[in-house]
Amino acid sequence: MSQKTQEPVITKVSELRTEEAKWVTLRKVEFVDQVGKPRTWEVAARKTRGRAGVDAVAMGNVLLHPSRPASTMVVIQYRPPLDAYTVEWPAGLVDEAETPEQAAVREFKEETGYECRVVSISPLQAADPGMTSANMQLVMVEADLPETELGGGGRDDGMPLQRLEDGEHIQRVVLPLTELYDRLVEYSKQDRMIVAAKLFHFAAGMHFAQTQKYF
């Protein structure tokens, strides 16, 4: 993380008036429920949804290396909402005129430096349905690592250049797929680090399938 010269620090937290917010907003939904009773619900929403009707994509990625085990790249970045570093799969908002697949390939290249190919795309998912209208799709992608690159546990040294936006400071970490769950648990024990729920749930599902006693 060559650009990182200091720990980010929050200087002020204030109430944000809805009419001043640019990226998110609050809405009051009035509805009539299943038994005919009028009710209301408070909703946080993104203001950036484009034509595809999909707010965001996350890229569940498999990195293939000629001689090393298959791995996946996670990104670590300071997230002001948590005042912590999060461990996530590369992800991003879908631009106004993009398809989710196009957003996946573009954002993966920007955040990781690698070209990828889309293997599959999930149905639309509700990000956090009790609180927000935000939705997303999980795009599974593959990328090929040249023989000369690590592909198995190292940090960004030797990886292709990222194309980050101003203000983005994203560290890349390559984790063997077989170690994903254990490594996320380890990250969670570190000070000021938190794993994103979607990535953690995917890894927990892998771990469950491989270790549980019910089948």
Scan residues 171-190 and list those touching its own copies (CB under 8 A): 177-178, 184-185, 188-189
Q: Decide: is 66 part of the binding site for its own copies (CB under 8 A).
A: no
- Phi/psi of residue 149, each to 5°? -95, 160
Residues 63 and 153: beta-carbon distance below 8 Å = no
Q: Decide: is 34 part of the binding site for its own copies (CB under 8 A).
A: yes
Q: Which CB, 116 or 134, lies closer to its own copies?
A: 134
Min. distance of Cβ 88 from its own copies in angstroms?
A: 7
Restricting to residues 123-182, name those near its own copies by CB under 8 A.
123-136, 138, 140, 167, 169, 177-178
> Residue 198 is encoded by which pair of tokens?
């979607």
> Residue 206 is encoded by which pair of tokens?
């892998």
In angstroms, what CA-CA distances link 151 with 38, 114, 147, 156? 55, 12, 9, 10
d(CA 142, CA 161): 18
Among 41, 53, 146, 158, binds its own copies (CB under 8 A): 41
Min. distance of Cβ 162 from its own copies in angstroms?
A: 14
Sign of CA dihedral 214, 58, 197, 41: negative
Among 67, 81, 97, 148, binds its own copies (CB under 8 A): 81
Q: Which CB, 87 or 105, lies closer to its own copies?
A: 87
Q: How many residues bind its own copies (CB under 8 A)?
A: 105
In the chain the first and final C-alpha atoms are separated, in Å, by: 43
Q: Decide: is 191 part of the binding site for its own copies (CB under 8 A).
A: no
Among 68, 70, 99, 164, binds its own copies (CB under 8 A): 70
Q: Decide: is 14 part of the binding site for its own copies (CB under 8 A).
A: yes
In angstroms, what CA-CA distances link 114 with 60, 91, 164? 14, 14, 13
